[in-house]
């Protein structure tokens, strides 16, 4: 399905069902509002799904993988070869995301949208490679507009396939050395906050490395002039293929009235692009946690999302989102398993 059709399918939340969910929550054996964020989640899920008592049946983390040409500028403490190596680690079940997904009873699926290694292959890898990594964005656009659109459409396709197979809670994960640089450039296109505040160490840069990263992003923005009124232009000029893939995944979930949980800074950059493409998308997103990347808080504020957890995490991969799966399921269990005052015979008068 093309992007235009998907955007047209994204509808407002079901406010009538949300009102019924609030009424049920207020009838449960607890002071009104006493379960805080769990209650907010329950109401949001009701509005997304149209079910007063929503359920979480099947959960999947989609890890989008892609490389970034800007690593030529020395913006990462890790070499680009780490991207395919970590993809294999995901597929073998040995990464942080695999551990936390297993804990949550969720699957992990890995999509190659643009890893620079042409030999990358595995029976369990979903290969949707648009190109072998992006171009160095200090020398021109990271990718063409057509390539950005194609990568978005990969994400939409993956979301639709998963939902058709019975998945009703998805999360965005990513792998791509250099992607905090692209994410910072995307954010800088939508905020006046100085780069010195929003740019962080990524996988482990020292202070000198962070300063260099700031200058690289400044150069990329000067060379490309991304248009904030055209989110696909921003994505194509200073984004990444895996960021585009996650953008599509988020749009695809919203179009199919399925909640999508975003992880940290890079997932947030994808969410920002998705929300600029279709503002209603925000209502379908659950922000799992606040990353230690300094730009993440600014990014969430620009979108208008509030993170549930603060765990001082900055791994990416979808780890924060997988951890949040447990909290989200708790919200649904409150709705389905907690007794009402009438059922329990509790009289508050």
Task: Show which residues are catalytic.
Answer: 317
Take residue 125 and report the two structure tokens written for it. Answer: 């890898």
What residue has token string 């297993």?
102
Take residue 258 and report the two structure tokens written for it. Answer: 């399925």
Q: Rounded to an integer, what distance in angstroms lies between the CA atom of residue 45 and that of residue 52?
A: 8
Contact predicate 238/221, CB 8 Å: yes
Contact predicate 271/243, CB 8 Å: no
Q: Which of 260, 237, 256, 267 is nearest to 7 (CA)?
A: 256
Is 9 exposed, middle or buried (CB count within 10 Å of its CB: 0-12, 13-18, 19+)?
middle
Q: Which of 257, 317, 265, 312 is nearest to 287 (CA)?
A: 265
Contacts of 250 (CB under 8 A, 6+ apart): 155, 159, 172, 260, 262, 270, 271, 274, 281, 284, 285
Is 165 exposed, middle or buried (CB count within 10 Å of its CB: 0-12, 13-18, 19+)?
exposed
3-state secondary structure 196-265: HHHCCCCCCCCHHHHHHHHHHHHHHHHHHCCCCCCHHHHHHHHCCHHHHHHHHHHHHHHHCCCCEEECCH
User: Residue 279's Cα: distance from chain center in Å?
Assistant: 15
Q: Which of 260, 202, 249 is nearest to 68 (CA)?
A: 202
3-state class (DSSP) for residue 289: strand
């Amino acid at each position: 399905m093309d992007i235009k059709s998907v955007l047209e399918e994204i509808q407002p939340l079901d406010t009538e069902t949300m009102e019924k969910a609030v009424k049920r929550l207020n009838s449960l054996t607890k002071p009104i509002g006493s379960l805080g964020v769990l209650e907010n989640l329950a109401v949001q899920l009701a509005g997304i799904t149209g079910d007063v008592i929503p359920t979480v049946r099947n959960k999947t983390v989609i890890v989008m993988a892609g490389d970034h040409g800007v690593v030529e500028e020395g913006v990462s403490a890790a070499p680009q070869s780490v991207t395919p190596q970590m993809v294999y680690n995901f597929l073998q079940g040995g990464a942080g995301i695999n551990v936390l997904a297993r804990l949550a009873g969720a699957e992990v699926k890995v999509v190659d949208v643009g890893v620079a290694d042409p030999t990358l292959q595995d029976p369990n890898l979903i290969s949707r490679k648009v190109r072998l990594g992006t171009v160095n964005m200090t020398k021109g656009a990271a990718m063409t507009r057509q390539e950005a659109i194609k990568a978005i459409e990969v994400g939409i396709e993956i979301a639709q396939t998963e939902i058709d197979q019975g998945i009703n809670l998805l999360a965005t994960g990513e792998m791509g050395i250099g992607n905090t640089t692209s994410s910072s450039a995307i954010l800088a296109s939508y905020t006046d906050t100085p780069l010195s505040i929003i740019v962080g160490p990524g996988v482990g840069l020292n202070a000198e490395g962070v300063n260099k990263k700031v200058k690289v992003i400044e150069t990329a923005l000067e060379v490309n002039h991304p248009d904030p009124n055209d989110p696909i232009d921003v994505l194509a000029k200073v984004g990444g293929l895996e960021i585009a893939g996650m953008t599509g995944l988020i749009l695809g979930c919203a179009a199919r009235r399925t909640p999508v949980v975003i992880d940290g800074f890079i997932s947030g950059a994808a969410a920002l692009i998705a929300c600029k493409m279709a503002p209603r998308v925000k209502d379908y997103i659950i922000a799992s946690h606040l990353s230690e990347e300094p730009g993440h808080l600014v990014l969430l504020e620009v979108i208008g999302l509030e993170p549930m957890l603060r765990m001082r995490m900055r791994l990416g991969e979808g780890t924060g989102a997988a951890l949040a799966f447990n909290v989200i399921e708790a919200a649904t269990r409150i709705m389905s398993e907690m007794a009402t005052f009438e059922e329990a015979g509790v009289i508050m008068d």
